[in-house]
Chain A
């Protein structure tokens, strides 16, 4: 029961922080400061668990799994935001709404690939990292190809 309470508090804290960032439209804490702070907290927790009698490698693996869970919780908010955007932007906004939808699907792809890369790194699934990185490289090409195809097909339709 205590594990579920911890997970609920952890999820609400992380999702609330990400939602705050999304609502603000900018980083609340700059990533160049946030990443060293998180690494420092991780190292302090490993040392504390080591002094409490745990094997350091096992303690680090456990903490990294909790960090991977945090990555998954953090990816939830942008994914739901993108889904809301896909539902809201209908055809009534005109033909150029395609480019907004293209951006939204790009957000879905980017969030999915970043979650795969960082969660895979934290739980030692290197195949997940490899596929995520390959996908991350291909995202701009597919988005550009789709926008290019739509632009030229729309120009052809205007010409007819």
Chain B
């Protein structure tokens, strides 16, 4: 006979540690993205900020799932959607010639 409580605790523990390890990996990638964003080139900075918004958004979403923090989900959706759209818009602006 398998105990349901034990199995449920196993699943919860696995998901918690999976999310935790993934958030640590996202944080390391976020440090690389910040390093990229602090370089002199404008387009390189835009790329770094875009990658950082991605990892920050995913981390916030996982925080919402694990700890039930509702505002983290709204912030994550705003970061993920507006980060990608803003990257495209600003890249189009950078593509245009200066003065136009």
Chain A bound to chain B: yes
Chain B residues with CB under 8 Å of A7's CB are: 10, 13-14, 17
> Smallest distance from the beta carbon of A124 to chain B beta carbons, Å?
11
Task: Give the complex CA separation of A101 and B54 in angstroms.
Answer: 15
Contact of B47 among A54, A85, A102 (CB under 8 A): A102
- The answer to whether A26 has its CB under 8 Å from any CB of chain B is no
Question: Which residues on A are within 8 Å of B, measured CB to CB?
Answer: 2-4, 6-7, 10-11, 49, 52-54, 58-59, 62-63, 65-66, 68-73, 75-76, 79-80, 82-83, 85-87, 91, 98, 101-102, 105, 108-109, 112, 115-116, 123, 125, 127-128, 131, 134-135, 138-139, 141-142, 145-146, 148-150, 152-153, 156
* B33 touching A86, Cβ below 8 Å: yes
Task: Using known A-B contacts A83-B32, A142-B84, A145-B91, determine if residue A98 contacts B43 with beta carbons closer than 8 Å.
Answer: yes
A86 and chain B: residue at smallest CB distance = B32
* A80 touching B46, Cβ below 8 Å: no
* B65 touching A141, Cβ below 8 Å: no
* A83 touching B25, Cβ below 8 Å: yes
12 pairs of residues in contact across A and B, judged by CB atoms under 8 Å: A7-B10, A54-B2, A54-B7, A72-B15, A79-B22, A105-B51, A128-B61, A135-B80, A135-B84, A146-B46, A149-B95, A156-B98
Interface of B is mostly: helix
Chain A residues with CB under 8 Å of B28's CB are: 79-80, 83
Task: Give the complex CA separation of A3 and B84 in angstroms.
Answer: 38
- The answer to whether B72 has its CB under 8 Å from any CB of chain A is no
> Smallest distance from the beta carbon of B36 to chain A beta carbons, Å?
6
* B50 touching A142, Cβ below 8 Å: yes
Chain A residues with CB under 8 Å of B58's CB are: 112, 115-116
Tell me the number of A-to-B contacts counted with CB atoms below 8 Å.
Answer: 184
Chain A residues with CB under 8 Å of B77's CB are: 127, 131
* A101 touching B47, Cβ below 8 Å: yes
- The answer to whether B85 has its CB under 8 Å from any CB of chain A is yes
Task: Using known A-B contacts A87-B32, A109-B54, determine if residue A146 contacts B25 with beta carbons closer than 8 Å.
Answer: no
Chain B residues with CB under 8 Å of A148's CB are: 91, 95
> Smallest distance from the beta carbon of B91 to chain A beta carbons, Å?
4
* A75 touching B7, Cβ below 8 Å: no
Chain A residues with CB under 8 Å of B81's CB are: 131, 134-135
* B88 touching A73, Cβ below 8 Å: no
> Smallest distance from the beta carbon of B28 to chain A beta carbons, Å?
4
- The answer to whether B63 has its CB under 8 Å from any CB of chain A is no
* A138 touching B18, Cβ below 8 Å: no
